[in-house]
Structure 1
Amino acid sequence: MSKVLFLDIDGVLNSDLWNDSHREEISDGTLIDEGKIKLLAGLVKETDSEIILHSGWRFWFDTELKPLCTQANKLVELLEKENLHISGVTPDLTTEEIRKTKKFSLVKANEILLWINLHNSVTEWVVLDDLDLHSAQISRHQVKTDQTIGLTLENVKQAVKILSGNK
């Protein structure tokens, strides 16, 4: 594993704009925009990168990355349609206070950096997330999506550039 893509789900593979017109799907928690999955597939194939889930969705998988709920199962099905799979998840550094206040962005950077430190075969990496992760080191590798739109072709081009070593 040399190139890694740290993937957030909400605000990347779905968006507020898309969500507003798909209320029924939001209520059952299976909301993923298949067009965003196709963009992700293009990115992964072009860069030959591995997907590491750093989204809160990672808690919906067991230790063998098998889905534990409908939402995770739907994500896996949509990824598999594009011959994609999740290779791993970042560690959980949240505290009870962070979980209570839902301020996950405060620890996401440390979770990503810890994962990288534990996997010394990583040569290039990119983070797809709609949140500010409060880290200068991460920001050089982050493609910050707009939560109202989700992943775009322009985001994909930026990620390809980062994974090619052209920050």
Structure 2
Amino acid sequence: MLQPTESAIRKAFVNCTQGEAKRMAVPNDLGTRPWDDLDFFGWRDPAAPQRAYLLAESDGKLVGVALRAATHQIGRVRRSMCSLCLTTHLGDGVSLMTARKAGPGGRQGDSVGTYMCSDLACSLYLRKKKHAGPPMPDPLPLPERIDHVRAALAAFLRKVNE
């Protein structure tokens, strides 16, 4: 993924108003991110942890989606799998992320969701640059896992834009 500017990030969002995009907390360390290793860029809002943002390249342009993370049940230890990168996490490492749909559907309250790594670092888990716990056997070779992430993300973005 190519490193976007803050301005390009704010303009890319399809499921929030221009005012919401202007107020969103964009990370100030964009220059230090491992862009070559990212299939998409995702981050959580430090001031509002239930808010998350995802930025991806789709059909040659940047597409941003504002997300909401579901709250977790405290005290319940379980293993969950991210539907994008197929990484398993213990505890709250996977969250149901919902996105308001773009356009009229979103204005009527329609949303879509999928289970994602809570820190949105799927690309780094795939490439073993970040670890979710004890190593587990990979279900697919790395190129196929990368293709799976990109296909699953494209399907999610299509649902947001329907």
TM over 0.5: no
Higher strand share: 2
TM-score (norm 1): 0.30
Q: TM-score, normalised to structure 2's length? A: 0.30
Q: Choose between structure 1 and 2 for higher RCO, CA contacts under 8 A separated by at least 6 residues.
A: 1
Judging by fraction of residues, say which structure has more helix: 1
